[in-house]
Amino acid sequence: MVLVVNETFDDSSHEDAGHPERPDRLVAARTAIDDLHLDEDLVVVPAHSATREELVRVHIGNYLDELSAYCYSGGGDIDQDTYATLNSFTIAKYAAGSGLAVIDELQRRNDGVGFVAARPPGHHALADRAMGFCLLNNVAVAAAALRSQGERVLIVDWDVHHGNGTQQIFWDVPEVLYVSTHQWPLFPGTGSVNEVGGRHATDRTVNIPLPPGATGDIVRRGIDEMAGPVIDAFDPTWVLVSAGFDAHREDPMADLRLTSGDFALMARGVSDYAPQPGRLVMFLEGGYDLDALRSSIHASLSAALGQTYDGESPSNGGPGTEQIERMRQARRSTIELLHTSDDEESTR
Amino acid sequence: MKPFQSIAVGYDGSHDATVAARWAMEAAKDFGAVVTIVHATGLREHLHQQFVADVTPPELIALAQECAFDESGLHWLVANGDACSVLLRMASPPINADMLVVGSRGEGKREGLLLGSTSLEVAEHASVPVVVVPSSYVEN
Ligand SMILES: [Zn+2]
Query: ipTM of the assembly?
Result: 0.89
Q: Report the distance separating Cα A212 and Cα A161, nearest Å.
A: 12
Closest residue by Cα to residue A214 from A324, A312, A300 = A324
> Which chain B residues are Cβ-neighbours of A187 within 8 angstroms?
41-43, 45-46, 80-81
Are the beta carbons of A66 and A78 closer than 8 angstroms? no
> Which chain A residues are Cβ-neighbours of B121 within 8 angstroms?
129
Q: What share of chain A is helix, strand, coil (3-state, %, to 5)?
A: 40, 15, 45
Structural domain contains residue B117: yes
Please report the pLDDT score of residue B113 as a whole number.
57
Query: What does the CA dihedral A248, A250, A251, A257 come to, rounded to 10 degrees?
Result: 40
Peptide bond into A277 cis (omega under 30): no
Counted domains in chain B: 1
For an interface test with B, give the residue of A64, A70, A79 to mutate (most B CBs within 10 A). A79
Please report the pLDDT score of residue B116 as a whole number.
63
Residues A247-263, mean pLDDT to the nearest whole number: 98
To the question of pTM greater than 0.80 for the whole model, the response is yes
Q: Using the mean position of ligand 1's atoms as its centre, give its distance from the Cα of residue B49 in Å.
A: 17
Please report the pLDDT score of residue A239 as a whole number.
98
Are the beta carbons of A274 and A280 closer than 8 angstroms? yes
Closest residue by Cα to residue A326 from A179, A247, A218, A233 = A218
Please name every residue paired with A116 in a beta bridge, in sequence order, or none if there are none: A283
- CB pair distance less than 8 Å for B45 and A130: no
* Distance from the Cα of residue A57 to its chain's centroid: 18
How do residues A281-318 score in pLDDT, each as one tens digit? 999 999 999 999 999 999 999 999 999 999 999 999 99
Give the nearest partner residue to A186 out of B80, B114, B116, using CB atoms.
B80
Are the beta carbons of A205 and A167 closer than 8 angstroms? yes
Q: Report the distance separating Cα B103 and Cα B106, nearest Å.
A: 7
> Which chain A residues are Cβ-neighbours of B43 within 8 angstroms?
81, 124, 132-133, 161, 187-188, 253
Query: What does the CA dihedral A6, A11, A16, A17 come to, rounded to 10 degrees?
Result: 100
Report which residue type is found at A112. Answer: G
Please report the pLDDT score of residue B140 as a whole number.
56
Q: Using the mean position of ligand 1's atoms as its centre, give its distance from the Cα of residue B92 in Å.
A: 26
Query: What does the CA dihedral B54, B133, A126, A182 come to, rounded to 10 degrees?
Result: 0
Please report the pLDDT score of residue B54 as a whole number.
81
Average pLDDT, chain A: 96
Q: Report the distance separating Cα A293 and Cα A303, nearest Å.
A: 15
Establish if A198 touches chain B: CB-CB under 8 angstroms: no
Exposed / middle / buried, residue A198 (Cβ in 10 Å: 0-12, 13-18, 19+):
middle
**If DSSP codes are grouped into helix, strand and coil, which group holds residue B111?**
coil
Q: Which residues of chain B have pLDDT under 50?
A: none
Q: Using the mean position of ligand 1's atoms as its centre, give its distance from the Cα of residue A159 in Å.
A: 5
User: Can you give the CATH number for the domain in which B81 is found?
Assistant: 3.40.50.620
Please report the pLDDT score of residue B112 as a whole number.
52
Residues A20-43, mean pLDDT to the nearest whole number: 98
Please report the pLDDT score of residue A184 as a whole number.
96
Residues A74-82, mean pLDDT to the nearest whole number: 92
- Which strands sit side by side in the sheet containing A238-243, from one edge to the other? A42-45, A3-6, A113-116, A280-284, A238-243, A153-157, A176-183, A205-210
> Which chain A residues are Cβ-neighbours of B86 within 8 angstroms?
189
Q: Report the distance separating Cα A145 and Cα A141, nearest Å.
A: 6
Structural domain contains residue B74: yes
Residues of chain A above pLDDT 90, percent: 96
Are the beta carbons of A167 and A175 closer than 8 angstroms? no
- CB pair distance less than 8 Å for B113 and A76: yes
- CB pair distance less than 8 Å for B43 and A185: no
* Confidence label for A348 from pLDDT (cuts 50, 70 and 90): low
How do residues B89-117 score in pLDDT, each as one tens digit? 999 999 999 999 999 875 555 555 556 67
Which letter, b or e, does each residue of B75-100 get, where b requires 16 or more Cβ atoms within 10 Å of its Cβ?
ebbbbbbbbbbbbbbbbeeebebbbb
Backbone angles phi, psi at B42, to 5 degrees: -75, 175
Backbone angles phi, psi at B133, to 5 degrees: -95, 120
- Count of residues in chain A: 348
Domain that holds residue B82: 21-133
Residues with CB under 5 A from ligand 1 (ion): A 159, 161, 244, 246, 286
Q: What share of chain B is helix, strand, coil (3-state, %, to 5)?
A: 35, 20, 45
Please report the pLDDT score of residue A18 as a whole number.
95
What homologous superfamily is domain A3-346 in, according to CATH?
A: Histone deacetylase domain (3.40.800.20)
Structural domain contains residue B7: no
